[in-house]
Structure 1
Amino acid sequence: MFNLFNSNKMFFLFILFFSTLIAISSNSWFGCWMGLEINLLSFIPLISSPNNLMSNEAALKYFLTQSIASINFLFCILMKMTLMKNFEINSFISIMINSSMLMKMGSAPFHFWFPNIVEGLSWFNNFILMTWQKITPIIILSYYMNKNYILIIVILNVIIGAISGLNQISLRKLMAFSSINNLGWMLMSILISENLWMFFLSFYSFMIMIMIFFFYNLNIFFINQLFINNMNSLIKINLLINFLSLGGLPPFIGFFPKWIIINFMINNQMYFITFIFIMMSLIMLFFYIRIIYSAFLFNYFKMKWFKIYIKNNYFIFINFFTFFSLLGMIFSTFFFM
């Protein structure tokens, strides 16, 4: 997964975390840009591997897309400094800055690079790309936000993330489209408040972490591999619970942050957007259930030679995380009392 004894990788991982802190704590646009560039240059050595052509291709594609977004961002900063006084230019610049940040985090309609790159990465790098790499662009986006533009982007994210995932068989691509859909929720939460966004991101990261931990330990990359794996029934039930939690089904903890966002949208008469969010969540649940379908089939063709055991110390973690997912409704009830 990730070699803790590889000093090069650990160094770049440290720089990756540090660069995010530089960008979000900077008091100038150039500081933000510098943080983004350091972030890009530290992530590329993490994802490229000398033995894997797919990861090298992914690293190159990632570099090109991020560079285009960075150039756009830098150009906008310079325009903002020179043409500050003109209001029409100012709103145009805000859209441009927002677009470059949306491109950096793989948001629709700038998402075309995202599923392709995800396909070439290991599960651990996917986890970083889907969680940590979204922090800097979203915070920079919140500094200079064009609200109407972001609302359109939110709707696009939720729809594209849900519909594009329907015909995928690769689990990495499915998780990528799931990430695009959840990015719609995330952008909606940053429109509401920064605290709510941090709350949503931490819950989303937790759920993605469990799923990626599962897939890494089972060494699974495609849906059909779930059917040929002779898995323990308890592992399947855990997989089922955690996927339904990621989809935002009520008794589980994944529903809790989505409930707060829906509550806010209804209080602000955003009925149409709420309707789209709920309908697209149904589609998301449909393709999550397609993945977990093997979990419902406890009695199917089993090959004696093909057995999978997860190490005991990992299994304790998985059981604990699943228990936490199940406690969601209890937490939610206490929170709203």
Structure 2
Amino acid sequence: MKSPSKLLFVFLLMSSTCLVASSSNWLTTWMGLEINMLGYIPLIFMKENTSESEAAVKYLIPQSVGSTIFISSAIISGYNDNLQILMVIAMCLKLGVAPFHFWFPPVMASLQLMPAFILLTWQKIAPILAISSFNSFLVKLIMPIAAISALWGGIGGINQTDIRSLLTYSSIGHTGWMLASINSNYTILLAYLLTYMMINISIYTFLSKEDSKSYKQLFSSKESGKIFILAISILSLGGLPPLVGFIMKLLVLVFTEAKMIIIFGLVIGALMSLFYYLSLTFSSLLSFSKMHLTKSLMTSKQSILFSLSQILPLTMILFFF
């Protein structure tokens, strides 16, 4: 993002998300989602190669289809309330949750690191906020999709060796948990979004300095403190107790009003995700030297972001409760 014009598109991303959050009608929500999509597409082009052009097209088509379905169902729902279910399908398509995730892994595989993490984090906020404004009947219809997404996020990540593919399927699983948190306290939803974003930013600060795709290359670094922070962040993303990722999942389970079968699907998906994250990090955690670990943690910049990712969401929960 060397071009100054990129700042304009970043501003569009932020302002469009605020527009969706503050909208009082479906037209304004649709406008915010469209501006959000148009603001993100130019950010895809970091090196201006063929793969980025392909990713832009693969991102544009499902997003456009989702926006068209959304505004069409919003107009028709004035005459027939039964068609509001199309609004649910449209938002799930824009989010990339299972079973509407067909575009998400190919786009993530073709992106550079910065736009990939924007897609993993910030681009989820606007559709999630739009879904949270649905009535209770539509929110209940989303709960089976939340369970399917959590399960598919766990299944798809098994036997993956590319760290970006792992984060992609983890994102699909976490989006299912975000959808489940909509059916609970609104503060839980905001805290879960903040937790997910902070942990991903902590992982991004490490990946941005390491030129490696395989997790075996990633965990072969000689800086044990940074590897420890990366491993703990990944385990927190997987929901290992007593890390903050587990606490947020526990709060969702406590406050959600979903049925037991939905909760069972969420838990099974989280356990499968935790399994491949444990297999990814366990051998690396056992190989650390305690002396080098302590020294590196005191001087590493990544430790600051790691601490923030673990503390800020808990502080937010204590503030509201």
How many residues end up aligned between the 2 structures? Answer: 312
1:166 is aligned to 2:158? yes
Q: Which residue of 1 aligns with 2:134?
A: 144
Q: How far apart in 2 are the matches of 1:269 and 1:72?
A: 26
RMSD: 2.8
Question: Is there any run of 5+ residues in structure 1 with no aligned partner, and where?
Answer: 84-88, 300-311
Question: Is residue 2:269 matched to residue 1:280?
Answer: yes
Distance in 1 (alpha carbons) for counterparts of 2:318 and 2:131: 33
Structure 2 partner of 1:61 = 58
CA separation in 2, counterparts of 1:163 and 1:220?
A: 24
Counterpart position of 2:196: 204
Matched with 1:222 is: 214
Is contact 2:117-2:204 (8 Å) kept?
yes
Q: 1:330 to 1:53 in 2, by over 3 A?
A: closer
Distance apart, 1:150 and its partner CA: 0.8
Q: Post-superposition shift, 1:33?
A: 1.2
Give CA deviations for 1:172-202 in whole Å, capped at 9, x if unaligned: 1211110110011101111113221101100
Larger deviation: 102-111 or 312-321? 312-321
- Secondary structure at the residue paired with 2:208? helix
Tell me the distance in 2 between the aligned counterparts of 1:320 and 1:126: 22
Give the partner amino acid of 2:265.
Answer: I
In structure 2, list runs of 5 or more residues that go unmatched. Answer: 289-295
Cα distance between partner residues in 2 of 1:107 and 1:177: 10
Q: Deviations over 1:147-194 (max 9, x none)?
A: 332111111111111101113222112111101100111011111132
* CA separation of 1:47 and 1:331: change in aligned 2, threshold 3 A: closer
1:336: how far off?
12
8 Å CA contact 1:69, 1:100 repeated in 2: yes
Q: What CA deviation, in whole Å up to 9, does each residue of 1:244-273 have, x standing for no partner?
A: 1111111212122111112224xx584333
Name which one, 1 or 2, has greater alpha-carbon Rg.
1
Aligned to 1:108: 98
Task: Point out which structure has higher relative CO (alpha carbons under 8 A, 6+ apart).
Answer: 2
Aligned to 2:166, the other structure's residue is in SS state helix
Superposition TM-score, scaled by structure 2 size: 0.87
Q: Does 1:126 align with 2:110?
A: no
1:196-251 deviations in Å (ceiling 9; x for gaps): 11011001111111112211121232223225x43212222222211111111112
* Cα displacement (A) at 1:28: 2.3
Q: Does 1:320 align with 2:292?
A: no
The farther-off stretch of 279-288 and 315-324 is 315-324
Is contact 1:241-1:325 (8 Å) kept? Answer: no
Matches within 5 A, 1:3-42: 3=2, 6-42=3-39
Aligned to 2:287: 298
Secondary structure of 1:321 counterpart: helix
Aligned counterpart, 1:307: none
**Given that residues 49 and 56 in structure 1 are in contact (C-alpha distance below 8 angstroms), is that contact kept between their aligned partners in structure 2?**
no
Aligned match of 1:186 in 141, 162, 178? Answer: 178
Distance 1:329 1:133, change over 3 A: closer
Change (3 A) 1:75 1:319: same
